Amino acid sequence: MLTLHTKIDHADTIAAQLVLPYELREKCRLRATLSTGEEVAVFTVRGTVLRDGDLLTGEDKRVVQVVAAPEPTYKVSCADAHTLLRCAFHLGNRHTQAQVGDGFLRIRADAVLKEMLAGLGARVEEEAAGFEPESGAYGGGHGHHGDHGDGGGHHALAPIPLRQRIHRPSDVA
């Protein structure tokens, strides 16, 4: 079985893709199946989040590209920036993971949050999309391909408090 344990910045050839939803891209130990059908074991440093487009390799030097799997999400958009900002504030107040896009937010599907956002005046559309939430103020951001300055590396700004809780739709109130 192929074992993947190292993130790299560039590869000339990609052997396969590893298509995973966000929940699995957060795990530091994972057994999965590549696009080729081959089983792999993924071992990352605790706290590592695999992002869409990340490249992984192991002892045999084959390179695998991580792909964000489409999953049930809501795309939140508003008639104006002020309303979208209010929505972002209320999601953050509930420690909800959110992806910030150009004029929209994306969250995991959650009926309670959908109702709250609609009440704030947002347009909430169900969609199957790759979910790439912000890593948070203590996570150092996730950067984008083509960013300059840090050589593509990810560095935490400060330790992440253990008591920091993230709301997930599967959590019981």
**How far apart are the C-alpha atoms of 51 and 55, rounded to whole Å?**
9
Q: What is the pLDDT of residues 19-63, one digit of tens each?
A: 999 999 999 999 999 999 999 999 988 888 999 999 999 889 999
- Please state the pTM of the whole predicted model: 0.74
Q: What is the pLDDT of residues 73-120, one digit of tens each?
A: 999 999 999 999 999 999 999 999 999 999 999 999 999 999 999 999
